[in-house]
Homo-oligomer: A and B are copies of this chain.
Amino acid sequence: MARASRPAGLERLCVVLVATRNPLNIGAAARAMSNFGFATLRVVNPFDPSYREARSAVGASSVLESAEQFSSVADAVADCSLVIGTTAATRRDLQHRLYTLAAGAPLLRKSLASGRVALLFGSEKTGLRNEDLTHCHWLLRIPTRTQQPSMNIGQAVAICLYELVRSAAPAAKPEKQKPATAGETERISLLLFDLLKASGYLGRRPGITDLEKLRRLVRRMNLSAPDAATWQGILRKIAWKMETGNAPKS
Q: Which residues of B contact A28 (CB under 8 A)?
A: 152, 154-155
With both beta carbons as reference points, the residue of chain B lying nearest to A236 in the complex is identified as B201
Q: In this assembly, does A113 line the interface, its C-beta being within 8 Å of a C-beta of chain B?
A: no
With both beta carbons as reference points, the residue of chain B lying nearest to A59 in the complex is identified as B148
A200-B241 CB under 8 A given contacts A99-B172, A158-B155, A247-B246 = yes
Q: Which residues of B contact A71 (CB under 8 A)?
A: none
Provide the bound-state CA to CA distance between A6 and B204, in Å: 45
Pick from B36, B37, B150, B169: contact of A58, CB below 8 A: B150
Provide the bound-state CA to CA distance between A36 and B146, in Å: 9
Q: In this assembly, does A1 line the interface, its C-beta being within 8 Å of a C-beta of chain B?
A: yes
Q: In this assembly, does A98 line the interface, its C-beta being within 8 Å of a C-beta of chain B?
A: yes
B-binding segment of A13-21, A42-50, A72-80, A160-168: A160-168
Q: In this assembly, does A67 line the interface, its C-beta being within 8 Å of a C-beta of chain B?
A: no
Q: Which residues of B contact A167 (CB under 8 A)?
A: 102
Contact with B along A135-171 (1 / 0, CB 8 A): 0001001111110111110110011001101111111
> Contact residue range for chain A?
35 or more
Do B248 and A174 have beta carbons less than 8 Å apart?
A: no
A100-B143 CB under 8 A given contacts A152-B31, A200-B237 = no
Do A146 and B1 have beta carbons less than 8 Å apart?
A: yes
Provide the bound-state CA to CA distance between A158 and B56, in Å: 16
Do A152 and B241 have beta carbons less than 8 Å apart?
A: no
Provide the bound-state CA to CA distance between A101 and B167, in Å: 11
> Could you tell me the distance in whole angstroms from the C-beta of A30 to the nearest C-beta in chain B?
11
23 chain-A/chain-B pairs, Cβ below 8 angstroms: A31-B152, A32-B155, A34-B148, A37-B145, A58-B150, A98-B174, A100-B169, A102-B167, A103-B171, A143-B165, A152-B158, A159-B159, A162-B162, A192-B234, A196-B234, A200-B237, A204-B237, A208-B230, A208-B234, A220-B227, A221-B222, A242-B242, A247-B247
- List 20 additional contacts besides A143-B168, A204-B233; criterion CB under 8 Å: A32-B151, A32-B152, A34-B145, A34-B148, A35-B148, A56-B152, A59-B148, A100-B169, A100-B172, A104-B172, A138-B174, A141-B172, A143-B166, A158-B159, A192-B234, A196-B234, A196-B237, A200-B237, A208-B234, A247-B248
